[in-house]
Amino acid sequence: MSYGALMAVLAFLTAALFCASLLIGPGAIGLADSLDALLRGRGEAVTLVMREIRLPRALLGVMVGAALGASGAALQGFLRNPLAEPGLIGVSAMASLGAVISLQTGLAAAFALALPLAALAGALAGALLILVMAGPRGAALTLILGGVAISALGGAASALVLSLSPNPFAAAEIVFWTMGSLADRSMVHVGLMAPFFLIGLALLAPLGRGLDALTLGEDAAEAMGVGLRRLRLTLVAATAALVGSATAVAGGIGFVGLAAPHLLRRAVGGAPSRLIPAAALGGAILVLAADVAVRVIAPDRDLKLGVMTALVGAPFFLHLIARARRDGA
Amino acid sequence: MKKRGAFRRGEGFSGPPRRAALLCALTALTMSAAPARALEGPAPDAAPRRVVSVNLCADQLALMLAAPGQLLSVSMLAQDPRSSVMAEAAQALRVNHGLAEEIFLMDPDLVLAGSFTSAATVGMLERLGLRVERLAPAYALEEIAGLIRQTGGLLGREAEAEAMAARFEADLAALRASAAESTHPRAALYEANGYAPGEKSLAADLLRVSGFASVAAEFGLDHGGFVPLELLVLAEPDMVVAGRPRDEGAARGEEILVHPALEALRGRSGVGVLPDRDWVCGLPATLRAAERLGAARRDLEAKK
């Protein structure tokens, strides 16, 4: 399949799942009624459901998935390590910590953008830490050990802050910050995420060429005129904006950034410049599918998205290990 | 050889002796108070003099009924004005966190717990020789008078309890009579995390006594459950009775209470307020909440 055809198929799947996300929900609303309400505002209650409950959820599914898929593909390209994934290397956990702190200090209530900004700051700290620890090559062992350490630190600190909250409901939300959910989100959250999401994508877009050159090695890339320092800084900023804003509104959703690039790497031929857009669509497909699945499986339980993505993602992880062992033998 | 032995002893210092010290401390703890009281041994029918309550509902009943100085400590939640109608009175008392150790050290002669108080804690306290009495939660307004009498009996304050229970029963009868002319508008209760108390809950009984029909019945909820916001919106209730997020500390579970869709629903229907403290526990104050809801219902009916 050509790259163009692949992207068309991915875009079609994203659009189809976006519609499914709009049309599937606990309230049984007919197809015609749903569309009538969404597009023309017919029927007060149904319009409210479509425009204020389902539409933001579907939009966030696309944005959160694309953010995680694209940043996963970019990190993997830069570190030349297939294990680099925002959830695994601790960037998501640190973003959660930032978000939790801004919520519990009352900063987010005083100033709405404080929530995504704090999550972004957390993601930035996580990304810088892992780059410092793993070094420019991102050797698998240091990357994973560093990631485990940062994830544990971020998760524990978030749990501590939530446990000390005067609000009795806060401690129960540790699961949300580690597993993620799109339940009961509103257009307010879409508005909070959108600017950072677009900035992150804009920062990431021009990096493809440099990342492609980097697949040949650092020396070769520098010889081709790629500024590694600048590439690295832009990449960290883009990842922080994408993962930070996604985590601020949806919690930490694992495995999307791992599974989306892996599913598509062979089909696009492995060049990061082609993989990043494909993985963005792939991530959107995974998150939308997971979010439709949680609503079909347990409509009244707010089953967390991380449960579904881990069920899909963990086998990929095992597959990676199996392949690494086979290659090693 | 000698050196090695010394080293070993040094190493052991942080091991077994520490455990032994801990054991000693625990033994001392269990022995210090229990035998002393066993000797005094209050007569079985004498009123308890050192009462500790570890359950929010028992806290509030005891605060209303206990003689001055009789109640030693209440649970932490009793001081939270959002959860407790007796928060002010509770400020004067020590709070406990429902932990067996702290309760035991207060040397109570009666511990009031709830049916759902941690079985491990209650079991531990009973093994330590304390008298623990459990109060069942109220699932209907009728049960409240019984709870008042039961608590009064446990505290040796039968006369006070009887007066309070009789007043409660009279107020309840008056309230039921005043709801007789109701057209039964449909009200939906909605709490943090999208929780809706069901038909067999105290909160739903409160709605019924106030003259409302509860939407929970349409959702098929018995005791309560989580209702997706979109189902609530599609049910188009005449009145939305939902809480508001607290000011201190944020929780994602409470964000649903200010979701734009719920705000829009509030804009179209009547808005009732039923703070947690009014329906979590069955108390005389619960009737005040029913009176307020009844007034809101009459406003709603007048508008139609």
- Residue A170 to residue B225, Cβ atoms within 8 A: no
Question: Could you report the per-residue pLDDT of A210-269, keeping only the tens digit for each?
Answer: 999 988 888 888 888 888 888 988 999 999 999 999 999 999 998 899 889 988 988 898
Helix ranges (DSSP H) in chain A: 3-23, 31-40, 44-48, 55-79, 91-104, 107-110, 114-134, 140-163, 174-179, 187-204, 208-214, 218-223, 228-250, 256-268, 272-297, 305-328
Q: Domain residues of chain A, as ranges?
A: 3-328
Q: By CA distance, what is A166's nearest residue in B?
A: B249
**Closest to B233 (Cβ–Cβ): which among A48, A103, A167?**
A48
Structure tokens at A129: 């830490």
Is A45 touching B (CB cutoff 8 A)?
yes
Buried b (16+ CB within 10 A) or exposed e, A191-211: ebbbebbebbbebbeebbbbb
Q: Is B166 on the interface with A (CB under 8 A)?
A: no
Contacts of A108 in chain B (CB under 8 A): 250
Q: Determine contact, residues B240/B269, Cβ cutoff 8 Å.
A: yes
> Measured between alpha carbons, how far is B202 from B285 in angstroms, rounded to an integer?
13
- Least CB–CB distance from B231: residue in A27, A108, A172: A27
Helices A3-23 and A31-40: crossing angle, nearest 10°?
100
ipTM passes above 0.90:
no
pLDDT for the residue B42: 47
Please give the distance of CA A251 from its chain centroid, rounded to a whole number.
Answer: 9
Q: Do A48 and B193 touch (CB under 8 A)?
A: no
Give me A25's structure tokens.
Answer: 């929900």
Interchain pair A106, B250: CB under 8 A:
yes
Tell whether A291 is within 8 A of chain B (Cβ): no
Q: How many CB pairs under 8 A join A and B?
A: 89
Chain A residues whose CB is inside 8 A of the B222 CB are none
In one letter, which amino acid is A248? A
Around Cβ B266, how many Cβ atoms within 10 Å?
A: 16
Instruction: Determine whether the interchain pair B231/A26 forms a contact, defined as Cβ–Cβ distance below 8 Å.
Output: yes
CA within 13 Å, CB half, B249: 14
Give the strands of the sheet with B186-190, arranged side by side: B213-214, B186-190, B239-242, B270-272
CATH class of B183-303: alpha beta
- Which residue(s) pair with B71 in the sheet? B51
Superfamily of domain B51-168: Nitrogenase molybdenum iron protein domain (3.40.50.1980)
Tokens 């197809």 locate to A31
Pick from B227, B251, B259: which is nearest to A169 by CB? B251
**B271: helix, coil or strand?**
strand
- Nearest beta carbon to residue A169 from set B231, B234, B254: B254
Name which of A22, A33, A48 to mutate to probe chain B: the one with the most chain B Cβ atoms within 10 A of its Cβ: A48
CB contact under 8 A, B249 and A165: yes
CB contact under 8 A, B250 and A301: no
Residue A137 has a pLDDT of 64
Sign of CA dihedral A147, A148, A154, A155: positive
DSSP, collapsed to helix, strand or coil, labels residue B132 as strand
Tokens (6 digits) for A29:
């609303």
Residues of B in Cβ contact (< 8 Å) with A25: 228, 230
| List of chain A residues with pLDDT < 70 | 136-138, 328-329
Cβ–Cβ contact B243 with A under 8 A: no
Q: Would you call A48 and B253 a contact, using CB atoms and an 8 Å cutoff?
A: no
Whole-number Cα distances in Å, B143 to B57, B138, B148, B178, B208 = 13, 6, 9, 20, 15
> CA A218 → CA A78, A145, B91, distances in Å?
10, 23, 67
Tell me whether residue B39 is exposed, middle or buried, using C-beta atoms within 10 angstroms of its C-beta: 0 to 12, 13 to 18, 19 or more.
exposed
User: Quick one: pLDDT at residue B39?
Assistant: 42
- What the block records as the tokens of A23 is 């049309």
- Closest by CA to A254, choosing from A155, A188, A133, is A155
Domain ranges across chain B: 51-168, 183-303
Interface test with B, best of A23, A34, A38, A49 (most B CBs within 10 A): A49
Per the CB < 8 A criterion, the answer to whether B251 and B192 are in contact is: yes
Angle, helix A140-163 to helix A114-134, in steps of 10 degrees: 150
Look-up: residue for tokens 């919520």?
A: A103
Rounded CA-CA distance B148/B64 in Å is 9
- Residues in A closer than 8 angstroms to B250, CB to CB, are 103-104, 106, 108-109, 165, 167, 170
- Residue A53 is predicted with a pLDDT of 92
Asked if A53 and B229 come within 8 Å (Cβ–Cβ), the reply is yes
Structure token digits, residue A52 = 């204020």
Cβ of A299 within 8 Å of Cβ of B233? The answer is no
Q: How far is CA B59 from CA B37, B66, B130, B149, B249, in A?
A: 24, 10, 18, 15, 24
Q: Please determine, looking at this structure, whether the domain spanning A3-328 carries the CATH number 1.10.3470.10.
A: yes
Q: With CB atoms and an 8 Å threshold, state whether B261 touches A52.
A: yes
Task: Tell me the CA distances in angstroms from B250 to A70, A92, B62, B191, B261, one per residue in order.
Answer: 31, 20, 31, 15, 20
- In one-letter notation, the amino acid at residue B143 is E
CB–CB contact B234 A186 (8 Å): no
Joined together, the tokens standing for residue B262 give 């719920």
Q: Which of B226, B233, B249 sits opposite A170 (nearest CB)?
A: B249
Would you state the structure tokens that stand for residue A246, as one six-digit string?
């996604």
Question: Going residue by residue through chain B (304 aa), what tens digit of pLDDT does each one get?
Answer: 334 433 343 333 344 445 555 555 544 444 444 444 444 444 456 789 999 999 999 999 999 999 999 999 999 999 988 889 999 999 999 999 999 999 999 999 999 999 988 889 999 999 999 999 999 999 999 999 999 999 999 999 999 999 999 999 999 999 999 888 888 999 998 888 888 888 888 988 999 999 999 888 888 888 888 888 989 999 989 988 887 787 777 788 888 888 999 888 888 777 877 788 888 899 998 998 888 889 888 888 887 7
In degrees, rounded to 5, the angle at the alpha carbon of residue B248 between the alpha carbons of residues B245 and B251 is 50
Residue of A nearest to B232 (CA): A27
d(C-alpha A129, C-alpha A176), whole Å:
24
In this complex, is the C-beta atom of B220 within 8 Å of any C-beta atom belonging to chain A? no
Interface with B, mutate which of A33, A51, A169 (most B CBs under 10 A): A169
CA-nearest residue to B258 within chain A is A186
